[in-house]
A and B are shown apart, each in its own frame.
Chain A
Amino acid sequence: SQQGEEDPQALSIQEGENATMNCSYKTSINNLQWYRQNSGRGLVHLILIRSNEREKHSGRLRVTLDTSKKSSSLLITASRAADTASYFCATGSSNTGKLIFGQGTTLQVKP
């Protein structure tokens, strides 16, 4: 079963605005990862945050993790039309050794 739930399911913003996506999960994790998928293509890894970390940055991306609330957020600042894609969170557990993907958020950035 899928562990991660993301919201919103869909998000439409103007270029230059910030986009925030949220991910909630149910069981204990070792890490949480965010991936991007352009339409009909493979997934691209964006960022990994470990369970003992609270915040991580990579370029225009900022990820937070709150293990007490079992939730994470991905912030994309100063969005561009090229950021239009689906974004998935994936939780990693050393118990299973596998990644479990959330339902995804579809982001549209209008030029």
Chain B
Amino acid sequence: DTEVTQTPKHLVMGMTNKKSLKCEQHMGHRAMYWYKQKAKKPPELMFVYSYEKLSINESVPSRFSPECPNSSLLNLHLHALQPEDSALYLCASSQGEGPETQYFGPGTRLLVL
């Protein structure tokens, strides 16, 4: 199984809502990533879980909160988002640490009203 799955595919939320994005991989990969991608821009790294240790992009606001329940699952908890947070959120995984090939999920299209 070489697939990374993400749910939901689409999400519309108000600025006071709390929601979660989910990502799952069954490739035995030990590193998982969250990226944010705005239209016509490259993906920007938000968080990395590598061997269950979290690495944070310092510029990511605290209204985004990652969680890694186990090595196959990665969640992104969303709270009090702003309209500018509307974007495609991509999850990826790689076999280990380091700049290896990453396998991406199809993404969650988020709209914050």
- Contact across chains for B42 and A42 when beta carbons are under 8 A apart: no
Q: Interface with A: B13-21, B63-71, B77-85, B105-113, which one?
A: B105-113
- Contact across chains for A42 and B99 when beta carbons are under 8 A apart: no
How close is A1's CB to chain B, nearest CB, in angstroms? 10
How close is A64's CB to chain B, nearest CB, in angstroms? 19
Interface mask (A51-83 → B, CB under 8 Å = 1, otherwise 0): 000000000000000000000000000000000
A58 and B109 CA atoms in complex are apart in Å by: 31
Residue in contact with B102 in the complex, picked from A30, A45, A93, A104, CB distance below 8 Å: A45
**B interface, how many residues as a size bin?**
20 to 34
**A interface, how many residues as a size bin?**
20 to 34
Total of A-B residue pairs, C-beta within 8 Å? 61
Q: Given that A40-B107, A97-B50 are known contacts, is A103 also in contact with B41, CB under 8 Å in the complex?
A: yes
- Contact across chains for B100 and A42 when beta carbons are under 8 A apart: no
Residue in contact with A103 in the complex, picked from B6, B42, B107, CB distance below 8 Å: B42
- Contact across chains for B99 and A30 when beta carbons are under 8 A apart: yes
How close is B109's CB to chain A, nearest CB, in angstroms? 7
Residues of A within 8 A of B48 (CB): 97-98
How close is B60's CB to chain A, nearest CB, in angstroms? 14
Residues of A within 8 A of B6 (CB): 42
Chain B residues engaging chain A, CB cutoff 8 angstroms = 4, 6, 40-45, 48, 50, 88, 90, 92, 97-107, 109
9 nearest A-B residue pairs (beta carbon): A92-B99, A101-B42, A42-B104, A43-B104, A42-B106, A45-B101, A97-B98, A42-B107, A42-B105
With A31-B99, A42-B90, A97-B98 known, 19 other A-B pairs at CB within 8 A are A29-B99, A30-B98, A41-B107, A42-B4, A42-B6, A43-B43, A43-B104, A45-B101, A45-B104, A88-B43, A92-B99, A97-B48, A97-B50, A97-B97, A98-B99, A101-B43, A103-B42, A104-B40, A106-B40
Chain A residues engaging chain B, CB cutoff 8 angstroms = 2, 29-31, 33, 35, 40-45, 48, 88, 91-94, 96-99, 101-104, 106
